[in-house]
A = this chain, B = another copy of it.
Amino acid sequence: MGTDSYKDKKVITIGIVRDLTGLSERQIRYYEERKLIFPERSAGGSRKYSFSDVELLVEIANKIEDGVQTHEIRKEMLKAQKRENQGEVRRKMIQGQLNAQFGLRKGPASK
């Protein structure tokens, strides 16, 4: 279930992201404004990104270059996420069926 460790840890400041992606800070902040990316914030308010974010930004940059608008990119992303959640739901439903089939309980062992 989502191997975290590193890839998803938000530890990279915007300047480094700029260097890693080749985008301008202006662009990076704008894509956030358009809800394509969601950095965390430090106590003082500085943005913090993960390597996943960096990868996503590169994908975004490619689409933009192909003339796709942030608006459209956002839709695609929501759709993709919905697919993911679908899978999640399906998995849970199957799990539920199995539990029913074998009469398992969720609590810490029924009496």
Contacts and interface: CB of A to CB of B under 8 A. Distances in A.
Interface of A: 6-7, 9, 11-13, 15-16, 20, 42, 48, 51
Chain copies in complex:
2
11 contacts: A6-B6, A6-B7, A9-B51, A11-B11, A11-B12, A11-B16, A12-B12, A13-B13, A13-B16, A15-B42, A16-B42
A79 B48 CA distance: 36
Nearest to A50: B6
Contacts of A16: 11, 13, 42, 48
Contacts of A42: 15-16
The 10 closest A-B pairs by CB, nearest first: A6-B6, A11-B16, A11-B12, A6-B51, A13-B13, A6-B7, A12-B12, A11-B20, A16-B48, A15-B42
Please indicate which of the listed interface residues A11, A12, A51 has the most CB atoms of chain B within 10 Å of its own CB.
A11
Contacts of A11: 11-12, 16, 20
A11 B11 CA distance: 8
A17 to B, nearest CB: 9
